Chains A and B, each alone.
Chain A
Amino acid sequence: MKWLNGWLDRSAEFSTRGIAQRTSRRGFLGKFAGVVVGGAVTVPLLPVARSQDNPAPLEEGDPNSCEYWRYCAIDGFLCGCCGGSVNSCPPGTEMSPITWIGTCENPVDGKSYIVSYNDCCGKSSCGNCLCQRNEGDRPVYNPRVANDINWCLGTSSSIYHCSTAIVIGTALDE
């Protein structure tokens, strides 16, 4: 319940905007893009086609903090607080191949990166480090940009555990 304590600690400095940006108790999943072909998982394809190959970006910040730049559109438990990391799932879980992708600006280089919020599935809620930020989030009828959705799809279990934030390339200008 670390998130809860954080919430209460901050209640004195409440501002509507601040609370929603930093944490939330109602947050949930969300993510999109990728394919399952004949039951076999492949690398996500959809928005990735718009990205460029790029070395790992230089970045700063705490990946287990909701303020971390990659989490601009995440909604769920941060896997780094659950035995995984920002780009890996905790032991014994399964990474969803289907996800939704946010576009977040890395403050170090000022570039916008495509971030894939793959969920880790097959165990019940991690319960640690709940984080919800809604920059670019849209209603569920626009699923590729809707973070209210459980994206444990295409996995052997539908049960949601935590979410990663994997940089998969730089975003091209529209």
Chain B
Amino acid sequence: MRKIICLSVLFASSAFGQLQPEPTGRIESLPASYPESWILLQDGAFFHMLNGKVIVVDAASDDSAGRVKGMFNTSFIAQFYQLKSRPEIVIAETFMSRGNRGERTDVLTIYDKTSLAPTGEIVIPPKRFSAMPTNYNLQMLDDEKIGLVYNFTPATSVTVVDMIQREYLTEIPIPGCSLVYPMAGRAFASLCTDGSMLSVQLDQDGNQASSSRTAVFFDANNDPLMEKAAMIDGIAYFPTFLGRVVPVDLTGTEPKVGEEWSLIGNEAGGWRPGGLALTATDSSGRMYVLMHPDGYEGSHKDPGVEVWVFDVKTRRRVDRIELGMPAISIGLTRGDKPMLVATNIELEIDVYDVASGEFQRTLNDTGAQTPFLLHGAL
């Protein structure tokens, strides 16, 4: 019976022509500049941290298979940085020589955006900060010539890397302070436990040339700054647990603390900012914040049910987007007509049109299990 079926298929094929032999070994590639509608899902792989990944997805596509464009691996809750000046993506990751045991090696891995293949690697001290990913564990300075990696042993320091020569330069202690926020030239800032900010200025060799400390300007216990700032035109907008915003101008080589304002205004209902990646920005410089009502002590990582949109210049809320399903992280696609993407509490990605606020689609079947961070593609 099988032979008969095969013969009939062949007969039918010959009646309409037949398939030509196809070449083997074809491998797709991506454009160096990704389309505006693409996003990168940073999957921290919480249930198998040694096998994380970043997946490139077209958020505008309703084709659940075709919208996945490719992926690359990341090891042990890696940190991610998308270069603006070169078609490269940098990953700070950790390997153990025997999988879950053995000698630890930390590296910055450089991926080419077109091939999604690793094209370089810089070995760094095996002490990079191992924690839930945020955008301020790995940053670049000086037109992306200098890379900075935040370390925690729990002594805190910053690894300085030459991204052009692709070599480790030095390590700078930042006792009492954490994370790296890029500043002008070769300077960076860090948030400190005492409620101040440290700034460090590097020389041409990447060594510390000078440093300074602001006065204490926030209460790290009672209404702390959330470290997940929205960065707009070189100004870091830090939401606080209770819903204030503290802008810090990082366009110079020393931080300038600006006048604080309120996310909440006169809104009733106990609204507070909360989530994992709870802030995002669009290409026009608006700030998006994930918000939840009925806030309480400990609600600062709760899923948000709305995204509030702010014009940071006028300090006014200009829009609020009601989410169909509560979300833990948000991101924006780039361009004039951005889409809001949100990791919902089922860990799928919901897409909303920002202009109308309307839900568009859910991106499931992307291969991501715990997409902690969502990055609009460059």
Contacts and interface: CB of A to CB of B under 8 A. Distances in A.
Interface of A: 7-8, 11, 14, 16-17, 19-21, 24-26, 28-29, 32, 98, 122-125, 127, 130, 132-143, 148-150, 152-153, 156-160
B375 interface: no
Contact of B46 (A16, A19, A25): A25
A137 B179 CA distance: 17
A148 B345 contact: no
B224 A138 contact: yes
A26 B226 contact: no
Contact of A142 (B102, B130, B224): B224
Interface stretch (B29-37, B254-262, B289-297, B331-339): B289-297
Nearest to A76: B46
Contacts of B76: 158-159
Pick the 5 closest A-B CB pairs, nearest first. Answer: A141-B178, A150-B130, A20-B302, A134-B298, A141-B191
Interface stretch (B7-15, B80-88, B93-101): B93-101
Contact of A28 (B104, B132, B177, B191): B132
A157 B100 contact: yes
A142 B224 CA distance: 10
A28 B100 contact: no
Nearest to A134: B298
12 contacts: A19-B302, A21-B298, A25-B46, A26-B276, A26-B329, A28-B131, A127-B48, A138-B221, A141-B179, A153-B152, A157-B104, A159-B50
B187 interface: no
Interface in B279-308: 292-294, 296-305
A153 B154 contact: yes
B225 A19 contact: no
B198 to A, nearest CB: 10
Interface string B125-138: 00001111010000
A116 to B, nearest CB: 15
Contacts of B300: 134, 137
Contact of A125 (B48, B101, B132, B294): B48
B63 to A, nearest CB: 27
Given A17-B294, A122-B101, A156-B101, A28 B46 contact: yes
Contact of B293 (A16, A21, A156): A16
Nearest to B296: A17
A25 B370 CA distance: 8
Interface string B295-328: 0111111111100000000000000000000101
Contacts of B293: 16
A20 B47 CA distance: 19
B131 A140 contact: yes
Given A149-B152, A159-B49, 4 more contacts: A143-B178, A148-B131, A152-B130, A158-B130
Interface secondary structure of A, over-half rule = loop
B227 A139 contact: yes
A125 B47 contact: yes
A127 B225 CA distance: 31
A149 to B, nearest CB: 5
Contacts of B346: 7-8
B220 A141 contact: yes
Given A14-B326, A16-B305, A32-B154, A159 B101 contact: yes
Contact of A26 (B100, B154, B221, B370): B370
Interface in B331-370: 345-347, 370
A28 B328 CA distance: 14
Interface string B190-213: 111100000000000000000000
A25 B44 CA distance: 11
Contact of A141 (B177, B276, B301): B177
A148 to B, nearest CB: 4
A160 B227 CA distance: 23
A164 B244 CA distance: 35
A98 B132 CA distance: 18
Contact of B50 (A124, A127, A153): A124
B153 interface: yes
B284 to A, nearest CB: 28
Contacts of B225: 139
Given A29-B131, A141-B193, A158-B130, A16 B227 contact: no
Contact of B299 (A17, A32, A124, A140): A17
A25 B49 CA distance: 14
A17 B302 contact: yes
B152 to A, nearest CB: 7
A26 B134 CA distance: 13
Contacts of B297: 135-136
Nearest to A30: B131
A139 B33 CA distance: 34
B77 interface: yes
B298 A158 contact: no
Interface in B259-284: 276
Nearest to B277: A26
